[in-house]
Structure 1
């Protein structure tokens, strides 16, 4: 759920490289009938299914050799997919819609992660210190709220929580900082509230913090938060690889959704979340279908709040 705008300039560079016939001429390489594909991911709970699917052989059974490479977020992953550094990537829906409005040639191909749909039992929320005078989302108006990236999904869903509570979302003061820095910033009083996801959500609650808004739940029922995507170039040049990858992702999502203990265990392979915290985390949902109505709501809210320069074309972006 991550920074994108700064990285979009890299797309222009990638386009220039393509015109010169360099890296963008590459496609997945095959040895003995096996296609090697690189996937840009973010080392967070959301992508546990693809790590689990790799371990379970869901990709290998479809003749795909998966290389998972950690990126800092959309700023690296979206341009990386466009320039063929990665064949596939993972990103939150708002970042993908921002890219689409700037005519970046990408397309979502599979669901990534979704809200649980249960207020107070979701993997993302706005939290405050235990002794904070802020009791509800309405009290957030005029307060400093941290988000990991300005003008992105955190802004959008937090504004909607405040709006639904009957306060003015324009009065919010957003402060950008990385998720890992938020617990200390909240404890020190640098911010009044923090929009966080797991594991920071459980970390803050364990220290006595309180949840005042289940923002994904407030935004839309069963919100699709993120998706896997590829370049339109790969879709056209090698649709079979995209088809097999999508099938393997869907099998991975289904498996992860029904095997939470294995999800918690796989987190030890690619995150630094300790065993005790892994056991207490609120896991998201991993459906195989993108909830298009919820993405449309995100689009409408983002347009209303000035996140997008133009209305996203969801027909072009979504599968």
Structure 2
């Protein structure tokens, strides 16, 4: 186990947890290089390991890669991985394109939007998925019990907080509202950080909030009720986020990309097979309250890329005006 090395980034990651989300900007760097010697093929004392920097966000969604580094999985494939903590996915994509990072993590709607604007990105591995459970997922829309909002249709005409406008939160909320017979275009979305949402809902600054774990559990503990688990309602197999590189890097370094994809896939499978370890690794890079960490819902981890999910989100992004034309998924997928 390499938890001691991971602890080198706890301070930076913890400070950023409460501003980190699917969007955002700014980057800070701390090294979390994997320890040498996982297998003889990786070289003695770290020799022959290829150094890589991966841009990540210190949230529950990235638990698999932190676990993979901790378990020495990347070393097994000849990679010396540094996890560089960014405040959000919006800061990661430009850093990957510029070459500061070789790989990055972002929600897939952000990648679809970036690809539609001409950024030459390529998905190499899944990040995390919805649990598919419409009664317990990692994200939900919540409101006060006395708000009069009992179903997604009731969100029409209301103010709903999201962490980033025109992204995976509001596009999936709009879809569940339309499916329920409400007018999605009448919703007034308000951009707000996840940490501020519990108080905003309780104090009536917004009618409802779309919120992710661990803040979902915190908000529910404060008395808010779930209106809809929008990810699971839209697509029970929704691929929420992915790891990506640039098309140029994939063409120039196919063996490194193949090794990273294989290591990431094994890390995702390990996280799926060892849910207690995936939950426990959060303590090394976040400051989630132990009681909240114990009972909050974790995302589903899987090594299987879902083109169907990507196509659905691409269609919703076009439907609700996040992109101007159909996204070329053949360019975005390996």
TM-score (norm 1): 0.90
Matched residue, 2:209: 194
State the alpha-carbon separation in 1 of the partners of residues 80 and 324 from structure 2: 38
State the alpha-carbon separation in 1 of the partners of residues 126 and 295 from structure 2: 25
Aligned pair partner of 2:189 in 153, 174, 177? 174
How far did 1:130 drift?
2.7
Matched, 1:140 2:155: yes
Aligned pair partner of 2:83 in 59, 62, 68? 68
Q: How does 1:277-288 map to 2 (within 5 A)?
A: 277-288=292-303
How far did 1:170 drift?
0.6
Are the aligned partners of 1:186 and 1:192 in contact in 2 as well (CA < 8 Å)? yes
Secondary structure, in 3 states, of the residue corresponding to 1:250? helix
Matched residue, 1:269: 284
How far did 1:181 drift?
1.1
Matched residue, 1:83: 98
Matched, 1:108 2:127: no
Matched, 1:2 2:22: yes
How far did 1:315 drift?
1.1
Matched, 1:120 2:140: no
Matched, 1:256 2:256: no
Matched, 1:42 2:57: yes
Secondary structure, in 3 states, of the residue corresponding to 2:52? strand
State the alpha-carbon separation in 2 of the partners of residues 196 and 234 from structure 1: 34
Secondary structure, in 3 states, of the residue corresponding to 1:284? coil
Matched, 1:240 2:260: no
State the alpha-carbon separation in 2 of the partners of residues 254 and 137 from structure 1: 34
Secondary structure, in 3 states, of the residue corresponding to 2:261? helix
RMSD in angstroms over aligned alpha carbons? 1.3
Matched residue, 2:15: none
**Deviation per CA, 1:184-235, whole angstroms, max 9, x where unpaired?**
1111111110001100111111111111111001222310111000011211
State the alpha-carbon separation in 1 of the partners of residues 214 and 86 from structure 2: 18
Structure 1 residue runs without a partner (length 5+): 8-30
Structure 2 residue runs without a partner (length 5+): 1-20, 27-45
Secondary structure, in 3 states, of the residue corresponding to 2:73? coil
How far did 1:146 drift?
0.5
State the alpha-carbon separation in 1 of the partners of residues 331 and 299 from structure 2: 27
State the alpha-carbon separation in 1 of the partners of residues 48 and 230 from structure 2: 45
Number of residue equivalences: 295
1:62/1:318 CA distance change after superposition, 3 Å: same
State the alpha-carbon separation in 2 of the partners of residues 70 and 290 from structure 1: 24
How far did 1:314 drift?
0.9
State the alpha-carbon separation in 1 of the partners of residues 318 and 93 from structure 2: 21
Are the aligned partners of 2:129 and 2:302 in contact in 1 as well (CA < 8 Å)? yes
Matched residue, 1:211: 226
How far did 1:2 drift?
2.5
Are the aligned partners of 2:156 and 2:182 in contact in 1 as well (CA < 8 Å)? yes
Which of structure 1's runs of 4+ aligned residues deviate more than 6 A?
A: none
